[in-house]
């Protein structure tokens, strides 16, 4: 198994690059992000590091009333799978002008609250803690962008979400073609559901220069590539 070199945590005032304390694993459903996230956790723990794994899908606090109203008015579209074991709710708020602006802001507030208690505060309380985030603020941004449609206004929303990412974070995009992804998971509604989200992830990765890892090939090769990139962003 690949070994991470000894980590040295530096003060924020240092000119050197600090070892990332927050690792975001992002990508469409079926891309293998959770598998690689858990493998990363196992590796860090084997090195004696204190690790917390945080899973953040859609978060609902202040958005609960809006979700309830949307369900009552029939705005929310609930799609059930043939086997009856899975279902998914879709929010076509792009068709409703007031909701088009309110929804992303509520989701930002909810996600920020969740991140504060699950990420920010634990990091402050424990300077040796490393956190791996599966489906974080960027995943929420991708879902919200789909919900409100592609408009120029979403660029403003994007900047707000991007500013919510903790400093000293390592962000990895795991990518796979839609056909393979839908074969891996039984709870994906359609190819188009993945295609629009995959495009957004790749565009964001290109814009912010986040590394992209194709999970089409051998798991160990992708894992080792991820570790090498982490080491390049480390001070040892």
Assess if residue 79 is contained within a domain. no
Lowest mean pLDDT among 47-56, 73-82, 194-203: 73-82
Assess if residue 71 is contained within a domain. no
CATH number of the domain at 170, please.
3.40.50.300
* pLDDT value of residue 223: 94
Quick count: other Cβ atoms within 10 Å of Cβ 218? 9
pTM beyond 0.75, yes or no: yes
Assess if residue 68 is contained within a domain. no
pLDDT digits (tens, 9 = 90+) for 100-131: 889 999 999 999 999 999 999 999 999 999 99
pLDDT of 7 > 60? The answer is: no
* pLDDT value of residue 101: 86
pLDDT of 2 > 80? The answer is: no
Its domain, for residue 195, covers 22-62+99-232
- Work out how many domains the chain is built from and give that number: 1
Query: Between the CA of residue 215 and those of 27, 95, 155, 176, 180, what are the distances in Å?
Result: 10, 35, 29, 6, 10
* pLDDT value of residue 164: 86
* pLDDT value of residue 185: 83
C-alpha 210/C-alpha 216 separation (Å) is 18
pLDDT digits (tens, 9 = 90+) for 64-104: 999 999 989 899 888 766 555 567 788 888 888 888 889 99
Q: Is the dihedral of CA 94, 98, 103, 105 positive or negative?
A: positive
* pLDDT value of residue 12: 41
Stretch 227-231: mean pLDDT: 88
pLDDT band for position 11 (50/70/90)?
A: very low
Query: Of the candidates 101, 99, 110, which has an alpha carbon nearest to the alpha carbon of residue 63?
Result: 110
pLDDT band for position 197 (50/70/90)?
A: very high
Assess if residue 170 is contained within a domain. yes
Assess if residue 2 is contained within a domain. no
pLDDT band for position 44 (50/70/90)?
A: very high
CB 22 within 8 A of CB 124: no
Assess if residue 215 is contained within a domain. yes
pLDDT of 4 > 60? The answer is: no
Assess if residue 145 is contained within a domain. yes
CB 35 within 8 A of CB 219: yes
Assess if residue 194 is contained within a domain. yes
C-alpha 120/C-alpha 137 separation (Å) is 13
């Amino acid at each position: 198994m690949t070994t991470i070199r000894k980590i040295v945590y530096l003060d924020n005032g240092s000119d050197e690059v600090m070892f990332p304390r927050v690792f975001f694993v992002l990508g469409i459903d079926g891309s293998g992000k959770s598998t690689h996230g858990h493998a990363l956790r196992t590796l860090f723990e084997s090195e004696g590091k204190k690790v917390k794994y945080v899973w953040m899908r859609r978060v609902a606090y202040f958005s609960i009333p809006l979700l309830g109203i949307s369900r009552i008015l029939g705005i929310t579209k609930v799609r059930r799978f043939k086997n009856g074991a899975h279902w998914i709710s879709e929010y076509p708020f792009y068709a409703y002008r007031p909701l088009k602006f309110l929804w992303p802001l509520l989701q930002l507030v909810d996600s920020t609250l969740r991140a504060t208690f699950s990420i920010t505060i634990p990091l402050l309380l424990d300077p040796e803690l490393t956190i791996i985030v599966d489906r974080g603020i960027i995943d929420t941004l991708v879902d919200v962008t789909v919900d409100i449609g592609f408009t120029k206004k979403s660029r403003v929303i994007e900047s707000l979400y991007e500013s919510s990412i903790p400093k000293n974070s390592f962000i990895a995009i795991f990518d796979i073609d839609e056909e393979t992804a839908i074969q891996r998971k039984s709870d994906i509604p359609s190819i188009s559901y993945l295609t629009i989200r995959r495009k957004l992830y790749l565009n964001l990765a290109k814009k912010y220069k986040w590394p992209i890892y194709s999970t089409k090939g051998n798991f160990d090769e992708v894992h080792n590539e991820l570790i090498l990139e982490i080491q390049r962003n480390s001070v040892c």
